[in-house]
Amino acid sequence: METLKPAQTAEDAKAPEIRRWRGWLALCSLLGPFIAIAVLSLFFGALISPALHQGSAKLTFRYTAATPADASGDNATQEKSGATAVTADATMFLPARDYAGHAAYAIACAFLAIVALATFVFSAAVVVRYSNWRVFLLATLVWSLVAWAVACYFSDVHGRYLVVRDLLNAADRFPGLAPFVIFRGGQPSATGQLLENLIFVDTVIALIPIGMLLSALALLTWRPPRSFDKPTLIARRFLLRCLLWFASASFVMGVLCNKALVEWPLTLVSAGQALALTPVANSLVLQFGALGTAAIFAAFLPAIAAWSLDAHTVNETLRANAQPGAPADELKFATMPAITSIMAVIAPLLTSPVVDSFRSVLGALSK
């Protein structure tokens, strides 16, 4: 159907009111994720002891190197050939595990960088299309500063030093791991501290594209449609869905990076210590997942609400113009099925009771 003149006339008549709620919803898309993260961080700070900050009077543990005996039930370190059990070689055991941890985290970071680049390019294209190059350059500068500030704020995550920095620093002295220590200026650099620096850089790299994505969402919400018709809303829905997929992909890569980050050090210590520290590692992944989930919903709900309000106006016109007895082809966003399909794809990678429960809820809502 071509341009719907009744809907266009109605929008022209209510232009000031429409601009007002568009502006508020666009502002919510920009600030909503930060408000959600701030609220969750407030609860984390109130309920978690200050001793778990690495800058305070922190906890100190003595880490013990893992041995093949600690992994006696691990199929990767022990195989049975008839009645004989073959145990992994003691001199190769720790170096092999450390190498696997390095590789897993490097691969996760590489995929995170690829997804971040794709997200930035697509979001930048939307920003330029709905504004201009000057707005794009300004947004890049602003989000770079914001990403730097957020990375600084989250550089001291509760308890992470217990599983990552301190443990990997101690692991530099484990038998057989000396070749993995990186030297700078002829002096050895602690692996745990180097990894903390890399986490900071990864956080900045990941947040700049997310900021550009928020700018694209805000522009899609704030800019009124040039022609208030079905094809325009379909094109806008396509962009919103693409941004939702990019945001979800960035979230998944971030969770995978966090899982690889906390699982690697636990393979280097004794089975008892790994078992004791596993709840801390799981909590770190859960915290990141909670922050990311809240941020995605807070960013996209206002943008989808704005689209739905416009679609409601067009659907009313379609129903009014439909022939008697003929069903009107209405516009729908189908948000829940889209998110459910994303969770179904990533669930094998994010196996946990929380994710299983979340998938069940989304599956029920999408029916």
Report the C-alpha gap between 100 and 98 in whole angstroms: 5
Contact 155, 247 (CB under 8 A): no
Looking at residue 179, the DSSP 8-state letter turns out to be G
At 97 the pLDDT is 92
Report the C-alpha gap between 31 and 35 in whole angstroms: 6
Measure the CA dihedral 258/261/266/269, to 10°. -160
Structure tokens at 344: 């179904």
State which residues of the chain have pLDDT below 50: 1-16, 76-78, 81, 325-327, 344-349, 351-367
Q: Is 0.75 surpassed by the pTM of this model? A: yes
Report the C-alpha gap between 343 and 251 in whole angstroms: 11
Looking at residue 73, the DSSP 8-state letter turns out to be T
**Which is nearest to 54 in space by CA: 148, 149, 155, 153?**
155
At 252 the pLDDT is 86
Report the C-alpha gap between 233 and 2 in whole angstroms: 12
Report the C-alpha gap between 244 and 237 in whole angstroms: 10
At 9 the pLDDT is 45
At 339 the pLDDT is 53
Supply the angle between the helices 15-47 and 271-321 in degrees, to the nearest 10: 170
Report the C-alpha gap between 131 and 318 in whole angstroms: 30
pLDDT per residue over 106-131, tens digit each? Answer: 999 999 999 999 999 999 999 999 88
- Domain ranges in the chain? 21-46+94-333
